[in-house]
Amino acid sequence: MDDLRLKYLGLIAGSADESALEEVRLAAIGKKGEVALAMRELGRMTPEERQVAGPALNALKDEITSAIAARKQALGDAALEERLRGEWLDVTLPGRRRGDGAGTIHPVSQVWEEVTAIFADMGFAVAEGPQVETDFYNFDALNIPSHHPARGEMDTFYMHRAAGDDRPPHVLRTHTSPVQIRTMQDQGAPLRIIAPGRVYRADYDQTHTPMFHQVEGLAIDKSISMANLKWVLEEFFTAYFGTTVKTRFRASHFPFTEPSAEVDIQCSWVDGQVRVGEGDGWLEVLGSGMVHPHVLRAGGVDPDQWQGFAFGMGIDRIAMLKYGIPDLRAFFDSDLRWLRHYGFSPLAVPTLHGGV
């Protein structure tokens, strides 16, 4: 019995894992194990012998059973210990960025948001209008006569009417100016709004795409003047480009403003790259003027009491200028490599003014 005891306690202590331990258990106290066989011998013993051997064998069985349990516990603890060491987590590591499949914020959306935020700081609210417009809002109400070239099939996308429907066709708005009329009709005067959005013209080259983005500005009050317009625009460009930007107003013509001006911003060209806010070059960036009395009237605003300025600026164009993007067409090619080069990580975008 002492031999059995020494043998199995030694084997148990030397078992390296649970399956080895199970083998030892079967060999010792399994049904056909050595202890069981020894117990079978009891039948051939005298009662006196049995009285000594019986309890001793039972005690041996118990001792082996608990030695196995203890060893099993020890092996389990060691395995857990090992795993914990392997899976150690450094909570001071920086978090993981989203994977390669993630996109970024498109430069147009970014600039749209920046423009909105800057004008919001000057008290301009955001107004909206439909992209599919009526002839009236896109042209007539803006004092654009029926023979005006802007109405030509060449420039404007017209929707189809059903056969037999003689009403003028809807158009994809060619500018954001119809929002001027809609907002005056909805809100009356005084008002101060910008209207960013998509516009459409049949045009395609390095600086023109059939769909592009404009932001309209409109301020109506009792004594709004061109001086207010100039201040607002200079304030805007200086905030947007992060440097003082001079503007130049050139007399121009739009049917919906009188007088009208095209506005240039100060810039220089260095190695073919534009630098805004320095040098003595000029770059045209928007159309503007004092809202024509016909337009005020179409919006339900009395031109004898109210006056105001309006402007329309290309969002894509000022995005190209600020971020040095040479080809407008790439904005709408949906090439992820381009987007990752010029786009903005969502993490880098201030959320103060909300997403667009």
**Residues near ligand PHE, by CB under 6 A:** 175, 177, 254, 257, 287-289, 310-312
Find the residue with minimal CB distance to ligand PHE: 312
Beta carbon of residue 142, minimum distance to ligand PHE (angstroms, whole number): 8
Pairwise CA distance, residues 111 & 89, whole Å: 40
Beta carbon of residue 310, minimum distance to ligand PHE (angstroms, whole number): 4
Nearer to ligand PHE, 110 or 156 (CB): 156
Beta carbon of residue 177, minimum distance to ligand PHE (angstroms, whole number): 4
Beta carbon of residue 287, minimum distance to ligand PHE (angstroms, whole number): 3
Nearer to ligand PHE, 257 or 266 (CB): 257
Beta carbon of residue 342, minimum distance to ligand PHE (angstroms, whole number): 25
Cα–Cα separations (whole angstroms), residue 147 to 45, 144, 150, 166: 128, 8, 9, 19
Nearer to ligand PHE, 254 or 331 (CB): 254
Asked, as a colleague might, if the bond just before 178 is cis with ω within 30 of 0, I would say: no
Angle between helices 47-86 and 2-14 (to 10 degrees): 10
Nearer to ligand PHE, 175 or 182 (CB): 175
Beta carbon of residue 274, minimum distance to ligand PHE (angstroms, whole number): 21
Which residues are registered as beta bridge partners of 247? 265
Strand runs (DSSP E) across the chain, as ranges?
125-126, 132-133, 171-172, 191-200, 211-221, 247-254, 257-270, 273-276, 281-291, 307-314
Nearer to ligand PHE, 237 or 342 (CB): 237
Nearer to ligand PHE, 287 or 299 (CB): 287
Residue of 126, 123, 127 whose CA lies nearest to 182: 127
H runs (alpha helix) in 87-133? 107-121
